[in-house]
Structure 1
Amino acid sequence: MVVTACDPCRRRKVRCNGQQRCQQCEHLDLRCTYTDNQQARSRKNAVRRGTLISEYKIPSTKKDLAAPASPPDLSLPLSTAYLHNLIPKYMAYVYPFNPIMTGDEIQDSIRKIDSDRDHAAFVFAFTGVTIDLTQSNIAASHVSEQVAELARRAIELRTPLLPGTRPSILRAITSVYIQMCYMSLGQHDLGFFYLREAISMVHLLRIEDKALMASLDLAERSRRRRLYWLCFIHERFMSIFHFSPATLSPHTAFPEDDPALGPWISHGWMQVIKTFLLLEPTFLSLWIGDRTQVTAVWVEQKHRELDDELWELEVSMLTDSQQADLVVTRQWMRTLLWQMAMSNCLLSSNASCPSLSLETPLRLSNQLRRFLTKISQNTIQIHGSSILNKLLEILNTIADVVIHGQQVSLEETTSRIDDIVFMKDVIFSFRNLQKVSKNILIEKMHLIRERFEHIEVSEQLEWDGSTP
């Protein structure tokens, strides 16, 4: 029986096999050290699991991944060396949130790039997604041009689906990556089209067929379910963003634990699935359709589901990158819920339920700011257009409340504007912030400045065009 755990495992409170370089540290590429220190063992000195992983990460690996992936020169063929250099960045920033194609499978596609059109199409889509998510903060129009060109080549290279042929997981994830590229480029209709294409392939792969799935080994069965849930998550987001009906029901089963995936990816992925399950059919139909059917009872129920202390505890043990995705998503959902309550005139200044309070968006903005100040800007930006669109929805709502809300004390007004300034700076740092969204925010910043011109902090709402 193992009586001594290594320092990273002990502080993260996970099972350690006690070897010289334990299984957990080997998997996460951490420094595996053993210290006999009573103070370090105390619960009081425990730290968040995500922080611990960052603290023990091997420096050389961390340094290599921190460098952004430069866009390729597409006037030349993609070099094998360039593509292989993208794989570690993909595994760090793309795979944890799209855990379908592994690094080994990408290497196989790179080997087949000249002999198989579908593998070549996947390589272009993989390249586009990876450089897009690792260059979200670089103010360079050529990055967007490169992403658009890579998506175009991926589309043109794919072989058609003809009678007697079946789609593959490779083809389905290629469509998902093309969708992600077009969402980043602001081509939302095309994003919707290629997501629906991926969903059609999911149906043709018969992932809902229990007998077929039972005939597969655990790794393949789990991967196919992850593909299903990935499309489910993307479609739920698109349904809110694009005001389009959702076609995928929740799968009858969660993905089985796949040892090859790694515990921190599995745990984070399950939290994403559970979070998007909150966007159930009633939520979507009320958002898209007749909001006069929104009731105070329903809003209070959804608020309780979103205000889950156990969820907060579990998420606090994830990496900063996973936390950024999940925390912003929850705040975004709370904002959507508040908007629906407001649409049906259910809000009041003394409501017992926070989601029925006029002040809720302001409280959410303060909470979100406190969280975002604890993590790096890059940790936010690697989530690309998904997290950007959620932040835009949140900030637009906060700005509207400040513009049209009742006058409050100077101290409270200053605090609210300060939160808006902070959120504005975060959003304007994204390379792929679309011109229309930017102009809407700039106009709201001007309105707030005009209303509160007597407050010094409102000068920070000015935007001179120098920020990306």
Structure 2
Amino acid sequence: MSVVSKACDACRVRRTKCDGHQPCLKCKTSDIGCTYALSRKKRGPRGKTVTMLQEVFGSGAGATASVSTVEAGTDSNAEAGPSHVPTATISPISSSSDPWLSALEHGNSLQLVTSNSPRSSLQLVTSHSPLSLAPFALPPAVLSPSPDHPFGHAFHARAHIIELMEARISSLLHAFFSHMHTIWPVVDGISVLKRFGHKEHLYNESFAALVLSMCSLALFLPFEAAKAGSSRQADTLVREALALHSSNPELGIRPNLDHISTSLIMSSALRLTHGFNAWYLRRREAYALVELLNLSNPRVYDRFTEAEKSTAIQLIWHLSSGDRSNALILPKLEGSLPHFRPLIAIRGKVTHLLSIMSAEWASSTAVAQIEPTTRVFEILDQGLVECIRGACGEVEPCTFDADAAMEYHRTLDAVTSGHLSPVQAADFLLTRLWLHAEIWRACTSHSVLQFEPEHRELRIEYPVEVLGRTVRVINGLPPGAVSGNGPAMGQKLKNIVAAAQAVLALPNPPASFQGVSSHDEAMEMVARVLEVASPLTSLRWIRWE
């Protein structure tokens, strides 16, 4: 029997099926009057909710078409959400060698290759290059709601609230894929935009939470954070995302990749809105969901589509490598964290990419798309992180020595990159230099440095050489490339300076340094790097492109 648009009053009160006739079959059988006089209960959020959303997101929050209009099958809202989707192309990062990087570290500026350049060598590319990691181009047909999508007409409980914010959500998704996804690809962008175009965020709680978490993070881009009311908008979106995410009955039973992506993205947004503990809780949740989904079993990938396989690999790689970065940077950014314990110490190698992937996946395109800075952190095993943090030897005897230090240095220098944007180039080059300085710091605490070493990395003056290379990288990059990496980059630069200052402050400092002509020039370099680093550490936004 077909579903009727309106039941009679008696059937509505008794909550029974109605055939919509006058009189209907049930009323005729019961010999009672059959009327259609009662008004239907108004759907959608209450007046206070609408007023609050209008205050936070502007008067446009209540101007979109009602959900009941969509339910009726009209297309009046087809242009509402995804009409401002970004347009550009995307290409994977190549893992080939990069001759321009060494040129940059020796003082040469980078040559920007435009789309008309005939050269095929690896160069820094602008956002107008066909090789840049820019937002996606989708055909217009993708962006209109599909009449036969699999979600039916069962809206989730908070769909009405989300629809009131849909215009703003569309704008923030544009910002996320334009400025964040290219350097933090933890979701399949084309799939997300297709699903958003098909209005899945109104039917699927998990996907709605993912969309709102991305939007809340986009509000911390500099140009969004400068707008009035951005903090309230971010707080509203992250709370709605949390409500949808936490109330999903499948979360703790059969999680999916959307759940993991949401936990990871939301953790970054929560750190900016509610502090370190909120970040830590959601970060640990992402690890727990990885284990619950059994991503440590390579056979799980066989059930994924190609896009899902790529997303799974990206998620696990970013979780494991990001954990190593957070262990070294976050305590210094957040101040005193007496109870901070890196997640790698809790999870060990459970989330390490190589322990869950088969050989064929190690050379897959999904790995090739992972940015080179993330690959840099793969050298940071748990032992090295603990040596740098001064926490080694608590469980097992420490085996860090000169040979181990040189192996880390060589492995770090062997990491290569492909086509990079200016922000990615700054992150890759300066992070690599920062880690060289951190390995040297571990050498000092383990008495590994030597008076006349064979390798320059084991010399006492090595941080000054790293400082000189850092200045050459900063001077060779376009303006804004370093600042685009946010507060964490400021802390990395300060750590490089601190190591160099420790050498320059010695009672009898070395008389000469490789790549630096004098003590006075080294002090000028200290001032130059601090000039760049100091404003960054106080900013309240994250890395962006």
**TM-score range with shorter-chain normalisation?**
0.5 to 0.7
| 1:56-455 superposed matches below 5 A | 56=129, 79-99=165-185, 100-106=187-193, 108-109=195-196, 111-114=199-202, 116-135=204-223, 147=234, 150-160=237-247, 162=249, 165-183=253-271, 187-241=275-329, 242=331, 244-246=342-344, 247=347, 248-251=351-354, 252-253=356-357, 254=361, 257-258=364-365, 267=368, 269=370, 271-288=372-389, 289-290=391-392, 293-308=399-414, 311=415, 314-315=416-417, 317-404=419-506, 406-407=508-509, 412-430=518-536, 432-433=538-539
Select the structure that is richer in helix: 1
| Relative contact order higher in (CA < 8 Å, ≥ 6 apart) | 2
State whether residues 119 and 170 of structure 1, in contact with CA within 8 Å, keep that contact through their aligned partners in structure 2.
yes
Distance 1:232 1:55, change over 3 A: same
For the 8 Å contact 2:173–2:214, the answer to whether it is kept is no
Q: Which amino acid aligns with 1:130?
A: A
The alpha-carbon deviation at position 198 of structure 1 amounts to 0.7
Distance in 2, matches of 1:147 and 1:228, equals 26
AA in 2 matched with 1:302 = Y
* SS in structure 2 at match of 1:105: helix
Query: How many residues were matched structurally?
Result: 374
CA deviation digits over 1:314-346, x for unaligned, max 9? 426433232222212211211211111111232
Q: 1:432 to 1:125 in 2, by over 3 A?
A: farther
Cα 1:237/1:142, change in 2 over 3 Å: farther
Alpha-carbon distance in structure 1 between the residues aligned to 2:462 and 2:228: 37
User: In structure 1, what is the Cα distance between the partners aligned to 2:168 and 2:233?
Assistant: 15
In 2, the alpha carbon distance for the partners of 1:107 and 1:237 equals 33
Q: Which amino acid aligns with 1:269?
A: I
2:486 touches 2:539 (CA, 8 Å); kept in 1?
A: no
1:50 and 2:120 are equivalent in the alignment: no
Distance 1:424 1:208 in 2: 42
What RMSD, in angstroms, separates the aligned Cα atoms of the two structures? 4.0
Measured after TM superposition, the shift of residue 142 of structure 1 is 6.9
CA shift in 2, pair 1:56/1:296, >3 Å: closer
Letter in 2 for 1:299: A
One-letter amino acid matched to 2:495: E
Alpha carbons 1:139, 1:431 under 8 Å: kept: no
- For the structure 1 residues 409 and 229, does the alpha-carbon distance in structure 2 shift closer, same or farther, using more than 3 Å as the test? closer
Structure 2 gaps, min length 5 = 1-90, 97-112, 136-161, 332-340, 541-545
What is the deviation of 1:234?
A: 1.6
C-alpha spacing 1:359/1:143, structure 2 compared with 1 (3 Å): farther
CA distance in 2, matches of 1:221, 1:366: 41
AA aligned to 2:352 is S
TM-score (norm 1): 0.67
Deviation of the 1:220 alpha carbon: 1.8
- Bigger drift between 162-171 and 210-219 goes to 162-171
Q: Distance in 2 between matches of 1:381 and 1:154?
A: 29
Q: Contact between 1:122 and 1:174, CA under 8 Å: does it hold in 2?
A: yes
CA distance in 2, matches of 1:108, 1:128: 18
Letter in 2 for 1:337: I
Aligned-pair identity (%): 16
- 3-state SS, counterpart of residue 307 of structure 1: helix
Unaligned runs of 5+ in 1: 1-8, 15-29, 34-39, 63-75, 435-468
Moved more, 318-327 or 335-344: 318-327
Shift of 1:93: 2.9
Paired residues of 2:284 and 2:343 also in contact (CA < 8 A): no
Q: Distance in 1 between matches of 2:249 and 2:494?
A: 41
Return closer, same or farther for 1:409/1:401 CA change in 2, 3 Å cut-off.
closer
Shift of 1:126: 0.7
Aligned 8 A contact 1:31 1:58 in 2: no
